[in-house]
Amino acid sequence: MDPATARAIDGALKSVYQASLRTLLNKALIKIRARTSMRRVERLLGLSEGYLSKVSNSRSEPSAELVSNLGLISMNPTSRLHDLETFWTISKKRASSTGRKGSRPSKIALAAIEQRT
């Protein structure tokens, strides 16, 4: 295969992959929006305000990690968001008791919660 053909195939595959991620993201957001505000989700995942709107409206590309986290949350939004709030509350309390600055929610939060369940 020549380099030009390889680049063309890479571009096409990337397009299909991004469209697939966006479809999964939007399906997850529909389920999550029925239970809570997007701002709450953004805060818990450490995202900037309005980022989920930006991604769902194709003004930014979603990462596989973000789509995975939202997919997990969408399976049981009420419970998963409560778990995230509990996780960050405990982390903040531990950090303040040791004199360190409080943690900001990161993308690792859901992985930690999944390991507990």
> What type of residue is 64?
A
Instruction: Report the alpha-carbon distance of residue 101 to residue 98 in Å, rounded.
Output: 9
Q: If you average pLDDT over residues 3-12, what whole number do you get?
A: 90
CA 55 to mean position of chain CA atoms: 11
Flag whether the pTM goes above 0.85: no
Query: What is each CA distance from 34 to 27, 57, 59, in whole angstroms?
Result: 11, 18, 23
Percent of the chain scored above 70 by pLDDT?
Answer: 82
Instruction: Report the alpha-carbon distance of residue 11 to residue 54 in Å, rounded.
Output: 22
pLDDT (0 to 100) of residue 93: 76
Q: If you average pLDDT over residues 73-91, what whole number do you get?
A: 92
